[in-house]
């Protein structure tokens, strides 16, 4: 019974570590937006 508990805790800790790693990697991603083309920008100003 103790072995099952240790394995379950190890799986939970492993999944938690992978989740935190994925979240931190997602927040550190540099999001970029393409600039608007000039002809669309000129039409919006009119």
What's the pLDDT score for residue 40?
55
Residue ranges of domains in the chain: 1-25
Read off the DSSP letter of residue 31.
-
The owner of tokens 């999944």 is 15
Which of helix, strand or coil describes residue 10?
A: helix
> CA–CA separation, 11 vs 5, rounded Å?
10
Vertex 24, ends 18 and 29: CA angle to 5°?
125
> CA–CA separation, 40 vs 36, rounded Å?
7
pTM over 0.75: no
Give the tens place of pLDDT for each residue, 4-38: 999 999 999 999 999 999 999 988 888 788 877 77
């Amino acid at each position: 019974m103790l072995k099952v508990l240790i394995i379950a805790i190890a799986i939970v800790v492993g999944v938690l570590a992978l989740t935190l790693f994925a979240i931190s990697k997602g927040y550190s991603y540099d999001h970029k937006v393409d600039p608007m083309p000039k002809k669309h920008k000129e039409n919006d100003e009119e």
